[in-house]
Structures are given as C-alpha cells and as structure tokens.
Amino acid sequence: MNISKCDLAAKRCKPCERGIPPLDRQEIDRLLKGIGGWELSGVELVKTFQFKNYYETMAFVNATAWVSHREDHHPDLEVGYKQCRVRYTTHAIGGLSENDFICAAKIDALIVPLGS
C-alpha cells in the first residue's frame, strides 16, 4: 500500500517509548515515496529547504517549531541565511519511526509553491 504526503500530514504523532523497534528499510522506503525531496542519511530523515532571504528562512524555522511543539516531536535544525536543513530521527528508539515521516509531511505542507 502506498502512502501519500496528504495521508501522512493528516496523522498525529504517537508517543514513542524505548523498546519499540525502529522502522525497517522496507517500511522506510515505502514511506519515503510519500514525501518528496527527503533523503535517508544514516538513521535520519533529512531535507534542505531554500529561501529567498533570511526573513523567509526564519519564518520557516518558527513555523517548524510550532509544528514540532504541537506534535511533540522535534527535529534538529541547521539554519543559514537562505536555507534550513531539517533532520528527523526518533532518539528514543535509535532510528526512524512513523512520527518522523508524519512531521516531514507536515513541514513540507508549510511551503506554498510560487503562483499558489
């Protein structure tokens, strides 16, 4: 069964506890198909977002912080003048969980394509 970005973005994160296994590679590959532009880097889900200026970058960072707080699932952010690199992993389980993909889809939904 394929999953879309809309399906993921409509979900809510669930508390993750130690002892729950991280997603296996097959499940990661399936979920990656539902979120464009994200890559697997070790045990992290990573994407770099580009912006026109620092103001847009910081607006994205603040919106990302709001989504993260609401979902209680927080990424590592690397912020530059015109870009922000977002890295998700579920530290409690030492790998990726569905929460990482849910949040990635919600972060993608913050970006409105030009002309919309």
- How confident is the model at residue 116, as a pLDDT? 44
Q: Full-prediction pTM beyond 0.85?
A: yes
- How confident is the model at residue 96, as a pLDDT? 97
CA distance 99 to 90: 8
Q: Tens digits of per-residue pLDDT, 25-57?
A: 999 999 999 898 999 999 999 999 999 999 999
Q: Which residues pair with 86 in a beta bridge?
A: 47, 77
- How confident is the model at residue 18, as a pLDDT? 74
- Considering only CA atoms, which of 39, 6, 30 is closest in space to residue 98? 30
- 5 or 116, which is more confident: 5
Helix (H, G, I), strand (E, B) or coil at 99: helix
- How confident is the model at residue 8, as a pLDDT? 87
- Considering only CA atoms, which of 31, 28, 25, 22 is closest in space to residue 91? 22
Q: Tens digits of per-residue pLDDT, 58-102?
A: 999 999 999 999 999 999 999 999 999 999 999 999 999 999 999
CA distance 67 to 69: 5
- Considering only CA atoms, which of 93, 111, 84, 105 is closest in space to residue 17? 93
